[in-house]
Amino acid sequence: CDHLQPTMWLGTEDGCIHVYNSSDNIRIKKNKIKIQHGSSVHSIIYLDNRVFVSLANGDISVYMRDSNGVWNTSQPYTVTVGSVANPVTRMVPISGKLWCSCHNTIKVLNISTLSVEHQFSGSGETQRSISCMAVSGLGVWLSLQHSAVIRLFHAASYDCLGEVNIAPAVTKMLASCDDIIRQHKAACLRVTSLLASQDLLWVGTSAGVILTMPLPHVSATTTKISQALQVTGVPHGHTGHVRFLTVVESTSQRGETKRFSHTKESTVHPRVLVISGGDGYEDFRSAGVSEVAGREDSTNHLLLWQT
């Protein structure tokens, strides 16, 4: 049935949610469903067969399916988590809960009762709001607005386990850049995106530099991360800000070209692609001597890594 097909939900600044079939070409195909809200859509998360939508007025609208498996888009359940002054700007699912960032506060939403069961400060700095969140196991990484520091929190105890300043690693990557460019990027350096994939934390920055860091093991009893965390710069990045980091997984069957082989053995291997989006492309190994430097600074680029 058409209503049971996978869908993509797209939220807009004017408060609309457009629902498309995942197989549709959205450039030429009209949206399947259009839902109008009174406030801008900040974030959309699919969790536990429900869709959670955070809005600029501080509410989270929860969409569920009816008994026939069809999305009930006319009567969402509404939970007030934030406010107009401090709306929910980011949501991440972890351990059956939904972490919601409201300015510099994390509010933990119980998805069974749809109520906030805990809240705590993600930063001691009241003027800095939480800009990015990424989850790996029992660890949740946070970055703050206009800051080059990332912090690790425990998913169960909510304790801060440690923090890392990524500025030295970025400065090292910018060594071959022009002096004025390097000074400008260092002066306004901040984290713009976070992604946890497999055993690495990927960090996108306003300088266009992308960093990776091995994810530390976080157990139920971990109280502090004692070992030094090694931050490494990736040679390829963007001229401008790293706008987003995401991961795409697909399965490829080894030996699939052997269509007429008599053997029945086949192995499925997951193929993981990490994708960054940003303005321009930069090879930081030769950023100061590139012949095409600046030629496509404002052109959107996608960079892909197979891991």
Count of residues making up the chain: 307
CATH number for the domain that contains residue 47: 2.130.10.10
Q: Which pLDDT score is estimated for 261?
A: 46
Is the model's pLDDT at 307 over the cut of 50?
Answer: yes
Are 211 and 110 members of one domain? no
Are 50 and 32 members of one domain? yes
Does residue 225 sit within a domain? yes
How many Å apart are CA 285 and CA 274, to the nearest integer? 21
Are 140 and 165 members of one domain? yes
Does residue 15 sit within a domain? yes
Domain boundary among 75, 103, 121: 121
Does residue 220 sit within a domain? yes
CB 159 within 8 A of CB 222: no
Are 113 and 29 members of one domain? yes
Are 245 and 207 members of one domain? yes
Does residue 272 sit within a domain? yes
Q: Which pLDDT score is estimated for 123?
A: 79
Does residue 212 sit within a domain? yes
Domain boundary among 57, 89, 121: 121
Are 218 and 82 members of one domain? no
CB 225 within 8 A of CB 159: no
| pLDDT-derived band at 125, boundaries 50, 70, 90 | confident
Encode pLDDT of 238-287 as tens digits.
999 999 999 998 776 554 444 444 444 556 667 899 999 999 999 988 85
Does residue 261 sit within a domain? no
Residues 6 or more apart from 129 whose CB is under 8 A from it? 89, 101, 103, 104, 144, 145
Are 150 and 203 members of one domain? yes
How many Å apart are CA 208 and CA 228, to the nearest integer? 24
Are 50 and 198 members of one domain? no
Are 135 and 204 members of one domain? yes
Is the model's pLDDT at 29 over the cut of 80?
Answer: no
Domain boundary among 72, 90, 121: 121
Are 139 and 93 members of one domain? no
Encode pLDDT of 45-78 as tens digits.
999 999 999 999 999 999 999 988 889 999 999 9
Domain extent, residue 56, equals: 1-121
Angle at 122 between CA 86 and CA 191, to 5 degrees: 90
Are 42 and 72 members of one domain? yes
Structural domains of the chain, count: 2
Are 106 and 148 members of one domain? no
Does residue 177 sit within a domain? yes
**How far from 57 is each of 11, 42, 80, 87, 163, CA to CA, in Å?**
15, 10, 9, 6, 31
